[in-house]
Every structure is written in C-alpha cells, then in structure tokens.
C-alpha cells in the first residue's frame, strides 16, 4: 500500500460533514443492500471505493473480507458474472468461426486466465457452458475480433530497436550541435531554433488533443474532430522547431487517443507528423522515421514501444543533463505513466522511489520535487485509487503554497485542485468537486491568462459535471466560454 505524503498529518482529508463511523450491523447490511448493489454493479466501482463511499455517506464500516462475504451472499459477485459472460461470448463466437479477444475494463484478458478461474472454483468449463443464461453481457466486458498483426519479419522484429537507437542518436546529435540547451536544471531544456513560441505550440497541441479526448469520452459528435483540426494546424511549427518536447508530445497524444479507444486517430496523427516531417525536415529525419515506423506497427504494440522510447530518452537525458534535471524527471515520469495497466506494482514503487530521491536531494518544495509529486497524483488517478488521489492532491496544493516562484506555485496548486476535484467527484462529493474545479481554473488563469490552453479540457469536465447535476444554464455558459477560446489565434 502506498505511503502517505510527508505532511499528511497536516493536510489529511477533511472530515467536516462526515458522520462518526461504527462497525456494520445486520440492520446496516439489510438497509443498504441496494445502495451497495448500485455502487458495485450499476456504477462499476471497485470494492474499496464502495467501502469509502458507504462509510462517508451511511456512517458504518466493515473490512474488505466482510464486504466480499456479503457480495457473495447476495449473488453480486461481479467477477463471476464477467467470467461467465466471457465464456458465453467465446463459445458463441467460436461456433460462428470467429477468433476472439476480450477486455475487461480495458485490460486484455487471456482465456487461459478464465479457465484457471473456474478451475480454482472447482467448476468445469463444460458446466459453465452448459449453464447458459439470457443475462446481458456486462458493460465492462468487451469481446472482439483481434486485429490482424503485421506479418512478422526480421525487419518488423527489429523495428522497436530501430526506434530506440534512432532516438538516442538524434538526442546526442542535437546536444552536440548546440540545438538543444538545458542550462537551468529547474527548467525543461529547449531548442534554440524557436524557444518561446515553441513552448506554447507544444503545450497547446497537447491540451487540444486532451480536450478532444474528453469530448470523445462524452460522445460529443463533431467537436472533438474540430478540436483536433486546430491541433493539427500546429504540427508544421512544432516540427520546424525540433524541440526536445516534440517526441514526448507525439507519444503522449498517441497514447491518449489509444486509451480513449481511438487508435485510428493515433494513426492519423502519426501519419501527419511523418508526412510533414518528410517535407520540412527530410525523409531521413528521425521524426519522419520514428512516426512512420510506429504507424506501421500494430496498435497493441504501441504502449510497450513508447514506454521503451521514453526509457531511451530518459537514459540519454540523464547522461547529458544529470538525473535531477527537469527534462530527465519529466521523461522518467512519462515512462512510468505510459503503461497504466501495469503501473500498480513495480511502477508504483518506481514513482515513489523517484519522489523520495527528489526530496532527499532537492528538498520537498523544489519545483522538480513537486513535479514528481504531481506525477504521483496522476498515477493514483490512473490506477483508480481515488482516496489516495484525494490525499496526495491535498498535499500537493499545500506544498505548492511553499514554492517561492509564483508561476510554479500557481501551476501545481491548480493541478492539485483539479485532481482533488476529480477524486471528490468519484467519491460522490459532487458539490465540493465542482467548487474545486472552478478554483483550479481560477488559479491557473491568474498567472497564465484567461485563454490558457491548459484549462480547455477542464472546461469540458466542468461542463459535463454541471449537466449531470441538472445545472444546464451554468453548463451552457461554460461551453460558450470554451468555444470562444477555440477561435483561431485565441489560444496561447
């Protein structure tokens, strides 16, 4: 289990308005069976989340084993239903001559794991198949025909290594030629070709794509595509500048759309970067080659290859700039966050180790320590650990207040408030969540301006929440403000 932030005793989660808790009685279980069923089955929440919500809202607590026992007694075992659904879908598709792959909540499930599950329960797979039901397939279970993988050749097997080697050579060449400069360890290194404008172009590109991702998530029909057109208009300027952040931005965009189940959008982005890089920088330029190689691979390989690319970049940056340089830490953080489905164990420990190292070398209030602290918040959020997200977000906001440089203080305060709001929303503290995301927007624009691109996705989140709370007039005002920012030349 993750350790608490250093100053957790000072900024522990607020207890105001939360009733004193006691151990559950039989009457508690009976009275709130439907509430627990709704949270666990209908809303698809993890059992630890259900426990936290029940304790906060209904005033009683129980151990994880107690909950598991009740879930089994009530016939609410979600994993049992999911495993039955996987067997049912696989069998049905097999009779139709279709190969199958299955994802549960986004995680790829090997059918051998399903067979072992029923074996541990002492139930034969034939009995599971024989016990057909008309129950609908749980929403979390997605069964589909596997993507056809590219033909395996010596060339395709060597492609990831080509990408890593090309990135390392490009990185060395840019520093040797003086194109990349990283004198200040507290600031990201930059390209001398177009320093100031480049920062805004890359940042805006990332935020527009994140906004598009959120719009895809809420099923907005046309807006995400229009938003991506605005982002794509920046690609030429980004390529010309050859900034160190360019590859990071490309990789993050590819993963963001892939995680939003839009691999075709990721492929379009890679093709655009590759084609424009060929025109602007030449057909043998690393941007052209790396993007072309990635798009020629199966999307299911992207996570692993991009994680390896982050690792290769991080190793180069550490050797040239040092382990505590901002750019090195950014790249290390992105490497850890690039594979969310595998970040609970060793990757979680790696992030914590990096944070403790920063505290020991740089101190708790150095901007680079706060950057890794912020990455810890992101990681807890990606893993669905909402209580930890809330606690670490509160700690980040408190630590940001101790930073002397005004822009850094506001940057991390705003990010902490954003994730505090998101975790509260998931923990059913809806009013507080809306208050905190509004505060995050206000804090962010105080140093960076009302048209700062970073707040675009935050407006989408706020609009969605207000609509779900029935505050349609306020949601319309937020939407109008966001759309006004999307006019050409308005975003910085």
What are the tens digits of pLDDT across the range 87-146? 887 777 766 667 777 777 666 777 777 777 777 777 776 677 766 666 677 766 777 776
Residue 378: both structure tokens together: 């992101």
pLDDT of residue 415: 93
| Out of 347-351, 366-370, 477-481, least confident range | 347-351
Confidence of residue 1 (pLDDT cuts 50, 70, 90): very low
Pair 40, 50: CB distance under 8 Å? yes
Residue 195, pLDDT > 60, answer: no
Mean pLDDT over each residue of the chain, to the nearest integer: 79
d(CA 247, CA 239): 10
Dihedral-angle region of residue 22 (phi above 0 means left; psi in -120 to 50 means alpha; beta otherwise): beta
H helix intervals, 131-222: 154-176, 195-217
What are the tens digits of pLDDT across the range 137-187? 776 677 777 655 444 445 555 778 888 889 889 898 988 888 888 888 888
Confidence of residue 466 (pLDDT cuts 50, 70, 90): very high
H helix intervals, 177-285: 195-217, 223-232, 235-241, 245-259, 263-281
d(CA 155, CA 40): 47
For the chain, how far is it from start to end, CA to CA, in angstroms?
Answer: 40
**Pairing between β-strand 101-104 and β-strand 107-109 as defined by DSSP bridges:** antiparallel
| Out of 34-48, 146-160, 301-315, 429-443, least confident range | 146-160
pLDDT of residue 150: 47
Distance set, CA 259 to CA 219, 306, 384 (Å): 15, 13, 15
d(CA 432, CA 121): 43
CB atoms within 10 A of CB 139: 9
- H or E segment to which residue 102 belongs: strand 101-104
pLDDT of residue 151: 47
pLDDT of residue 20: 54
Residue 344, pLDDT > 70, answer: no
DSSP-assigned beta bridge partners for residue 190 = 181
pLDDT of residue 304: 84
Confidence of residue 272 (pLDDT cuts 50, 70, 90): confident
Report phi then psi at 480, rounded to 5: -65, -40
- Residues with Cβ within 8 Å of 61's Cβ and at least 6 positions away in sequence, in order, are 21, 22, 23, 24, 51, 54, 55
Residue 196, pLDDT > 90, answer: no
| Residue in 52, 63, 62 with CA at minimum distance from that of residue 18 | 52
pLDDT of residue 145: 72
pLDDT of residue 395: 92
| Out of 16-30, 36-50, 262-276, least confident range | 16-30
pLDDT of residue 423: 92
Distance set, CA 187 to CA 6, 116, 170, 224, 411 (Å): 25, 50, 21, 32, 14
pLDDT of residue 228: 78
pLDDT of residue 418: 95
d(CA 329, CA 314): 8
pLDDT of residue 342: 47
Pair 82, 137: CB distance under 8 Å? no
Confidence of residue 483 (pLDDT cuts 50, 70, 90): confident
DSSP-assigned beta bridge partners for residue 102 = 109, 143
pLDDT of residue 17: 40
d(CA 380, CA 390): 9
Residue 37, classified by CB atoms within 10 Å of its CB into exposed (0-12), middle (13-18) or buried (19+), is: middle
CA torsion sign for 374, 379, 381, 387 is negative
Residue 11, pLDDT > 50, answer: no
pLDDT of residue 233: 83
Q: Which of the given ranges, 74-78, 99-103, 372-376, has the highest pLDDT on average?
A: 372-376
Residue 78, classified by CB atoms within 10 Å of its CB into exposed (0-12), middle (13-18) or buried (19+), is: middle
User: If DSSP codes are grouped into helix, strand and coil, which group holds residue 94?
Assistant: helix
| Residue in 270, 203, 212, 278 with CA at minimum distance from that of residue 243 | 203
**Pairing between β-strand 141-144 and β-strand 101-104 as defined by DSSP bridges:** antiparallel
CA angle centred on 22, ends 58 and 79, rounded to 5°: 60
Q: Which residue has the higher pLDDT, 490 or 322?
A: 322
Pair 87, 114: CB distance under 8 Å? yes
Residue 246, pLDDT > 80, answer: yes
**Pairing between β-strand 180-181 and β-strand 22-23 as defined by DSSP bridges:** unpaired
| 444-447: Cβ within 8 A, 24+ apart | 444/410, 444/411, 444/414, 446/410, 447/406, 447/407, 447/410, 447/411
| Out of 239-243, 341-345, 356-360, least confident range | 341-345
What are the tens digits of pLDDT across the range 413-430? 999 999 999 999 988 889
DSSP-assigned beta bridge partners for residue 104 = 107, 141
| Residue in 435, 441, 476, 436 with CA at minimum distance from that of residue 458 | 441
């Amino acid at each position: 289990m993750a350790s608490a932030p250093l100053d957790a005793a000072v900024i522990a989660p607020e207890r105001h308005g939360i009733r004193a808790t006691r151990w559950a009685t039989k009457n508690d279980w009976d009275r709130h069976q439907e509430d627990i069923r709704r949270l666990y089955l209908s809303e698809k929440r993890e059992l630890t989340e259900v426990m936290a919500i029940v304790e906060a809202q209904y005033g009683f607590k129980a151990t994880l084993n107690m909950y598991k026992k009740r879930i089994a007694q009530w016939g609410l075992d979600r994993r049992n239903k999911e495993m039955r659904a996987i067997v049912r879908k696989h069998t049905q598709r097999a009779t139709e001559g279709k190969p199958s792959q299955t994802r549960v909540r986004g995680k790829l499930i090997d059918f051998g794991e399903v067979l072992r599950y029923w074996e541990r329960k002492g139930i034969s797979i034939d009995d599971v198949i024989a016990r057909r039901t008309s129950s609908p397939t749980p929403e979390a279970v997605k069964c589909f025909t596997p993507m056809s993988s590219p033909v395996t050749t010596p060339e395709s097997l060597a492609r990831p290594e080509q990408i890593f080697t090309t990135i390392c050579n490009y990185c060395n060449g840019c520093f040797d030629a003086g194109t990349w400069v990283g004198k200040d360890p507290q600031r990201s290194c930059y390209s001398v070709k177009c320093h100031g404008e480049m920062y805004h172009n890359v940042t805006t590109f990332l935020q527009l794509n994140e906004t598009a991702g959120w719009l895809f998530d809420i099923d907005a029909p046309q807006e995400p595509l229009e938003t991506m057109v605005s982002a794509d208009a920046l690609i030429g300027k980004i390529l010309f500048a050859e900034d160190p952040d360019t590859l990071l931005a490309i990789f993050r965009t590819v993963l963001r759309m892939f995680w939003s189940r839009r691999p075709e959008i990721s492929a379009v982005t890679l093709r655009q970067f590759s084609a424009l890089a060929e025109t602007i920088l030449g057909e043998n330029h690393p941007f052209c080659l790396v993007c072309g190689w990635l798009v020629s691979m199966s999307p299911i390989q992207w996570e692993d290859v991009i994680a390896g690319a982050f690792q290769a970049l991080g190793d180069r940056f550490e050797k040239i700039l040092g382990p505590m340089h901002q750019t090195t830490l950014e790249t290390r953080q992105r490497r850890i966050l690039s594979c969310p489905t595998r970040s609970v164990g060793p990757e979680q420990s790696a992030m914590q180790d990096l944070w403790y190292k920063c505290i020991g070398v740089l101190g708790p209030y150095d901007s680079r320590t706060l950057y890794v602290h912020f990455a810890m918040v992101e990681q807890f959020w990606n893993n669905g650990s909402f209580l930890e997200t809330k606690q670490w977000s509160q700690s980040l906001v408190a630590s940001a207040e101790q930073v002397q440089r005004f822009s850094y203080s506001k940057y991390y305060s705003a990010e902490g408030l954003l994730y505090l709001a998101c975790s509260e929303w998931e923990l059913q503290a809806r009013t507080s969540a809306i208050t905190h995301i509004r505060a995050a927007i206000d804090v962010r624009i105080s140093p960076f301006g009302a048209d700062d691109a970073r707040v675009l996705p935050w407006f989408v989140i706020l609009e969605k929440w207000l609509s779900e709370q029935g505050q349609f007039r306020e949601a319309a005002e937020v939407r109008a403000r966001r759309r006004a920012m999307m006019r050409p030349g308005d975003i910085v």
